[in-house]
Amino acid sequence: MDTFEADAVVIGAGAVGLACARALALKGREVLVLEAASAIATETSSRNSEVIHAGLYYPTGSLKARLCVEGRRKLYQYCAAHGVEAHKCGKLVVAVDDGEAAATPALLQRALANGVEETRLIDGAEARRLEPALNPEVRVAIHTEVSGLFDSHHYFLALQGEFEDRGGSLVLDTPVVRGAVVGDGIEIETGGASPSRIKARTVVNSAGHQALNVARSIEGGPRYNGVRMSWVKGSYFVASGRAAFARLIYPMHNSSTQGLHLAIDLGGRTRLGPDAEWLPEGAKPPFDYEVDPARQEHFYREVRRYWPGLKDGALSPDYSGVRPKIVGKGQPSADFMIDGPEAHGVAGLVNLIGIESPGLTSSLAIGEMVAGLV
């Protein structure tokens, strides 16, 4: 087994891992990215809505709130500077009944407290002027102009290009199987076709679905004994026919999902989802990403609350993703877990666990935060 030394190792080449690698490289660090799969961004990062989130929903003062708003601003700038397609189309969060309408002022106040710009409460008539296909029963809506969509695949390639241009390297098909804290760094062992031992000054564990397992595999590192992973599968459907909306349309949200939202993707398709299907206790990666066609009945019912013009037979299955959760069903959503040396006492180690939405929007901000921790 080959043994060699490295300055900074990032485990995982998803959106957050690539952003961490870029941020470290911009600080002059020599970065090695290890990815278990045979391509970059094949897990959570490639199975999402490609939505640039405004930052409305997250508890004020949380990492999710701060990093989403900061990351969203940086992401638009990054896309413009690197030729990545991004469309600031705006979003309406619509309230169809009195109970939902009564909840909108609190959501607006949270958005404003989080620093979300260009966001206001509008009445149902104005919402329908903006989007005539909305249900006439829509009472009120929150209109935010800073939400959007972008080409995530080209974004990932741009991040990869940036850290490689600064001397970084990406190695695919290289899972991390174990590690150990040693005197002046962290030693990790990889599997795959060419197993090796790598001693690094800095290790960033951004292994996505495997992040908790990787963290626990590092001898001398934190054990996270109180942490347990849960998994929520989100399926998407597409609606045939001409697009009826120009903006993102979201229903008022609940504790586990922001609702079956509607987006006109960059290809012009009307895409609906994700829903929230909690996987059975004991489920673990790799997951079955097949979309169950029977779930379309739920989609028809929920989406027609705000889009009554959705025709019978219009929906067809598209794709799905699985969100990593560090809370169980029925529990309040958890914040990002971004643990650096101050949290666990191991110099040079950062663990990122349970990075779900808005992780993609937040990725540049997360990368800069991580680079600042080591």
Give the least confident one: 20-24, 117-121, 327-331, 363-367: 327-331
Q: Which residues contact 70 (CB under 8 A, 6 or more apart)?
A: 362, 365
Q: What are phi and psi of 229, to 5 degrees?
A: -85, 140
Q: Which residues of 145-168 are buried (b: 16+ CB within 10 A; e: fewer)?
A: bbbbbbbbeebbbbbbebbbebeb
Q: Which residues contact 282 (CB under 8 A, 6 or more apart)?
A: none
- CA–CA distance, 97 with 123 (Å, rounded to integer): 13
pLDDT tens digits, 234-261? 999 999 999 999 999 999 864 445 579 9
Using CB atoms within 10 Å of the CB of residue 132, give its burial: 0 to 12 exposed, 13 to 18 middle, 19+ buried: exposed
pLDDT at 102 over 60: yes
Q: Which residues pair with 143 in a beta bridge?
A: 92, 120
Are residues 331 and 230 in contact, defined by beta-carbon separation less than 8 angstroms?
no
pLDDT at 270 over 70: yes
Of 45, 15, 150, residue with least CA distance to 88: 150
Tell me the average pLDDT of the chain: 96
Kindly report the CATH number that applies to the domain delimited by 88-145+229-325.
3.30.9.10
pLDDT tens digits, 4-13? 999 999 999 9
pLDDT at 345 over 90: yes
**Domain ranges for the chain:** 2-47+153-226+333-373, 88-145+229-325
pLDDT at 287 over 60: yes
Quick one: average pLDDT of 175-202?
A: 95
3-state SS, one letter per residue, for 51-120: EECCCCCCCCCCHHHHHHHHHHHHHHHHHHHHCCCEECCCEEEEECCHHHHHHHHHHHHHHHHCCCCCEE
Question: What percent of the chain shows pLDDT beyond 90?
Answer: 95
pLDDT value for 280: 95
| Model confidence pTM above 0.95 | yes
Of 221, 242, 233, 322, residue with least CA distance to 278: 233
- CA–CA distance, 10 with 18 (Å, rounded to integer): 8
Quick one: average pLDDT of 129-152?
A: 98
pLDDT at 178 over 80: yes
pLDDT at 106 over 60: yes
SS3 at position 23: helix
CATH superfamily of 2-47+153-226+333-373: FAD/NAD(P)-binding domain (3.50.50.60)
pLDDT value for 256: 41
pLDDT value for 259: 75
Sheet holding 148-150, edge to edge: 51-52, 148-150, 86-87
Q: Residue written as tokens 């663990």?
A: 351
pLDDT value for 255: 44
pLDDT at 127 over 50: yes
pLDDT tens digits, 189-244? 999 888 999 999 999 999 999 999 999 999 999 999 999 999 999 999 999 999 99
Q: Which residues pair with 349 in a beta bridge?
A: 203
